[in-house]
Amino acid sequence: MALMITDECINCDVCEPECPNDAISMGPEIYIIDPNKCTECVGHYDTPQCRQVCPVDCIPLHPDHVETQDQLMSKYYRLTGKQPKVIS
């Protein structure tokens, strides 16, 4: 599931540089997350980095972008160009 930023965002700028997928950018009024780029940090970190730093806790899961762990991992591979490890 991608995450989303709600209108409680205070534009503090701290989440944008923490995103390993460059999924966060400034929108018309507040920061926004591109659901095509957000992997919930799967592949990079154990926990969503943006949520870790947000001072007002305004980054919930996006209800319209429900994805399994496998789908998030596939997105990570697509975004990074890395290949899944083959266990022989």
Contact flags string 59-88 toward ligand SF4, x per CB under 6 A: x-----------------------------
CA 31 to chain centre: 12
Sign, Cα dihedral of 52, 44, 16, 69: negative
Q: Which of 1, 31, 67, 79 binds ligand SF4 (CB under 6 A)?
A: 31
Beta-strand pair 31-33/24-26: antiparallel
Write down the residue that tokens 């920061």 correspond to: 31
Q: Which of 1, 21, 67, 79 binds ligand SF4 (CB under 6 A)?
A: 21
* Residues within the interface to ligand SF4 (CB under 6 A): 3, 5, 9-15, 18-19, 21, 23-24, 31, 33, 38-41, 48-50, 53-54, 56, 58-59
